[in-house]
Structure 1
Amino acid sequence: MSIPSAGSGAANLPQQNILDLFLAGVRAADPYLAVQSCLHADNAQLHIDLGRESDQHQRSSAWPLVHVLAFGKAACAMAEAARSIIPPSKMAQPGLIVTTYDNVRAIENFQVIGAGHPLPDAAGLQAAQLLANRAAAARPGELLLVLVSGGGSALLPLPVVGISLPEKIATTNLLLACGANIQQINCVRKHLSQLKGGGLAKLAGCADLHALILSDVIGDDLSAIASGPTVPDDTRFADAIQVLKSFQVWTQTPPAVQHHLLAGLKNTELETPKTGADCFANNAQTLIGSNTISLDAVSRAAAAAGYQVDIYSRQLCGEAKLAAGELAAYVRQTQANGLNQPIAIIAGGETTVTLAGNDYGKGGRNQEMALAFAVAAEQHQLDDHWQFLSGGTDGRDGPTDAAGGVVDAETLKRIRAAGIDPETSLLQHNAYPALQAADALLITGATGTNVADLQIVLLHPNHK
């Protein structure tokens, strides 16, 4: 990890603390341990914990064959954990893993495929078709064990007949650029896909299916995680059309996409499978990790380090710049009330960035939030004894090599000393070079997991 330097105004603050707290949250989402904690085997049976939301404790059976399909940023680690537990004689060979290019590594008895994220690519299209074929090959009485983690929507682009991959990419690009949230994006993608919105469950037919899910969606809506390939989708074609129209991108949507969505209004057979459909009769899901779990881990680590913990939000959302300004105002009020001990203000969630036109720079929502917080802190005249971190738990923020940013009271001075105007950088959505000039990028590398974002503010008493 690259550790951002601290300016002289923050020289008395423990620089490593804020990074250690963030990493505590990342470790809590460790996909290998999460799978191991809920999957068990003995000589005859495989046992799968069903989680707190279920009335039953476990799902158990002597399945003669287990087909393992893993996709998402944490797919490799999840598959390794499953392989360590499932008896080799019961595993269909080879298993299949689809993950981001930077998370690819060799896994014994698995075919590992790298694919594009956040925008899908041709490799993902081929992988999605292969995964669909594997799912359809599972027979009644066998188990299809599906390991789901963040990024699955982009990694498995299998458009419906009549829509090309470039047309689906163009539609996804429109949604990402206009500021649509993950639920809205997934609503559209489900209705353009053969796998999403319960499509994978439909392909599995009469085989048993169980999904172990690492959530990157705030609120842990299983129908939204990786666009819900194994669960019912109760959104409709009309909802997908409304998303595109509400963001005023319907007329820019490829004609083939428009044609399919309009056709779906008239033909119910084109709809995604809904609650109560036959394909869900033998299905179950277990949520094994989430942003909430990581947020709680950060809180425990902060308390252990001597901080008073203040949970600012468990579902932080909205425009990144606006969310940063509101948080800075909250910090200003906290400082005005007086500090008797160090305070850690913690949030978890997923903000958005709305891009206007094609004239924008390099960055991501966490980098933009970090830079916006530094600007807002200056405007609110915060005491110098603060640090702020905003980072993606997957180690990737937008199309960059940074997880986010770490800023303090000296960050803007360092940016301006490099000849960069921070306010202009925000207007141009160009946070990366500004933070880079201040040595304020959070660089972790790919973490192999993804449970959305974490924000941490550390405040220390100003002993003058």
Structure 2
Amino acid sequence: MSRPAIQKALREQAAGLFQAGIDAADPYLAVQRSLSSDGLRLEIALSPDDNAPKRTGHWPKIHLIAFGKAACNMAKAARDIIPESLLPGDGIIVTNYENAAQATGFKVIGAGHPIPDEAGLQGARLIAEKMSHAQPDELVLALISGGGSALLPYPRPPITLEEKAQTTSLLLACGATINQVNCVRKHLSMIKGGGLARFAAPANLHALILSDVLGDDLSAIASGPTVPDDTRFDDAIAILRKKDIWESIPNSVKYVLQQGSAGNIPETPKTGDELFNNADHTLIGSNPISLKAVVKAASLLDYDVRVYSEHLSGEAKDEAFKLVSYAKSLLDNGLNKPIALLAGGETTVTLTGQGLGGRNQEMGLAFALAAERLALRGNWVFLSGGTDGRDGPTDAAGALIDPQSLARMRAAGTDPGARLQDNDSYRALQASNDLLITGATGTNVADLQVLLLRP
């Protein structure tokens, strides 16, 4: 087989493995595995494991809400199982514009992500209002997926939506981790950090959660609206100061955080709060589940499969260089058979330029440059993609590159090194036809990386 044919086959295989990971996080099937009904009542599995214990109640009404990038499919699955007689009126779905679709029995609201907008604020208010009407013997079933934090903004007065968005933008631009971003968001919000549980009380509450957070920390997924939050106002202030953006945030944000620190605004509800006595949750999908599916699919292609990292994090450029160095050591020692190096996680990007891109595109471009610098030989392809189908503020899921990517960029008049320095990975990859385009996938369990090596 010629080298171009080998590269084409490797690219197709890498894309197929990525799709296997997305398929494993199918939100419709994940919800269906978690719910069952005898036509009169609902049972909720407390884990995705077979024979998991179930939560059962004789709830006369079940109030259904869904928010996040997978909200539509999760909501449809729940409505297909829950007896019609238990559903009082339309449920509410809030999702990103790309994934918004009509759903019978729901009011669907498309909203902004990653920067919150007025539509998301409207959705947050509607959900809060619906939940506040639930009675003590009824159930609020919340279907939560990645992106829910930005999609459901409800700023504490006197913070405006624009000021909340400005603060979020500053956090994203300075390279804050998702946990740091969410810590600040929780203390600026009426919904995040257990706030939604306050609106639902005294009704029963159960959340089905599709995780997009490394380690599946429930307090971080969508900023933990239905679970306790053990961070404090002082933690949020410390993050903003450490990232050197305290002086740049709006005065209203400073005011709320300082008032909270002084005890003049109630803290988010903590572990042990009686508010959660009637609240529970089920983790129905995650990055590790998807990574496991990629491992299985690669094994079926007869690769020597190695999990490089189950919690890939850190600066995207740095992680790309480390991965190239590791791959080079394997190649230099000789390969007996093709190797698939697989990872799952979520890197970060510290913005210093004015370009367009996302963490997966930046990692792909940085990988190509590091491969050239370290003279990574042999046949290889590298894919880094977001399982939601959108990497940063672009229409691409990430990058899919090979040894000829840099040559194609330069032939198109693009300087890949300069593009990387300007955080302009999108235009570099666009020039070489190496953008990974999947469209909105309807799910979100963080990112997956696939590196295929052949002698």
Name the counterpart of 2:341: 345
Q: AA paired with 1:353?
A: V
Aligned mates of 1:296, 1:48 — CA distance in 2 = 24
Name the counterpart of 2:427: 433
433, 437, 457: which one aligns with 2:451: 457
Correspondence 1:145 to 2:114: no
CA deviation vs aligned residue, 1:79-103 (integer Å, no higher than 9, x gap): 0000000000001210000000010
Correspondence 1:309 to 2:308: no
Aligned mates of 2:304, 2:8 — CA distance in 1 = 18
**RMSD of equivalent CA atoms:** 1.6
Correspondence 1:126 to 2:129: no
Name the counterpart of 2:88: 92
Name the counterpart of 2:31: 35
Q: AA paired with 2:40?
A: A
CA distance 1:360–1:307, change in 2 (3 Å): same
CA contact (8 A) 1:10 1:408 kept: no
Give the secondary structure class of the aligned counterpart of 2:216: coil
1:44 deviates by: 3.0
Name the counterpart of 1:213: 209
Name the counterpart of 2:393: 399
1:278 deviates by: 1.9
Name the counterpart of 1:445: 439
CA contact (8 A) 1:7 1:411 kept: no
Correspondence 1:196 to 2:162: no
TM-score computed with the length of structure 2 as normaliser = 0.98
CA contact (8 A) 2:378 2:454 kept: no
1:303 deviates by: 0.1
1:384 deviates by: 3.3
CA contact (8 A) 2:11 2:400 kept: no
Correspondence 1:61 to 2:57: yes
Q: AA paired with 1:387?
A: V
375, 378, 388: which one aligns with 1:384: 378
CA contact (8 A) 1:13 1:460 kept: no
1:268 deviates by: 6.1
1:237-386 → structure 2 map (5 Å cutoff):
237-267=233-263, 269-356=265-352, 359-386=353-380
Q: AA paired with 2:39?
A: N
Q: AA paired with 1:234?
A: D
Q: AA paired with 2:428?
A: A
Q: AA paired with 1:459?
A: L
Unaligned stretches of 5+ residues in structure 2: none
- 4+ runs of 1 displaced by more than 3 Å? 6-14, 52-56
1:267 deviates by: 1.3
Q: AA paired with 1:38?
A: S
* Between 260-269 and 21-30, the greater mean CA deviation after superposition: 260-269
CA deviation vs aligned residue, 1:335-384 (integer Å, no higher than 9, x gap): 1121111110000000000012xx41111000000000000011111113
1:128 deviates by: 0.7
Name the counterpart of 2:151: 155
CA contact (8 A) 2:7 2:380 kept: no
Q: AA paired with 2:301?
A: A
Aligned mates of 1:7, 1:424 — CA distance in 2 = 29
Unaligned stretches of 5+ residues in structure 1: 1-5
Equivalenced residues, count: 454
395, 416, 420: which one aligns with 1:422: 416
CA distance 1:11–1:351, change in 2 (3 Å): closer
CA deviation vs aligned residue, 1:42-85 (integer Å, no higher than 9, x gap): 13321000017999711001211000000000000000000000
Name the counterpart of 1:3: none
1:11 deviates by: 3.9
Q: AA paired with 2:408?
A: R
Give the secondary structure class of the aligned counterpart of 2:215: coil
Q: AA paired with 2:185?
A: R
Aligned mates of 2:24, 2:328 — CA distance in 1 = 30
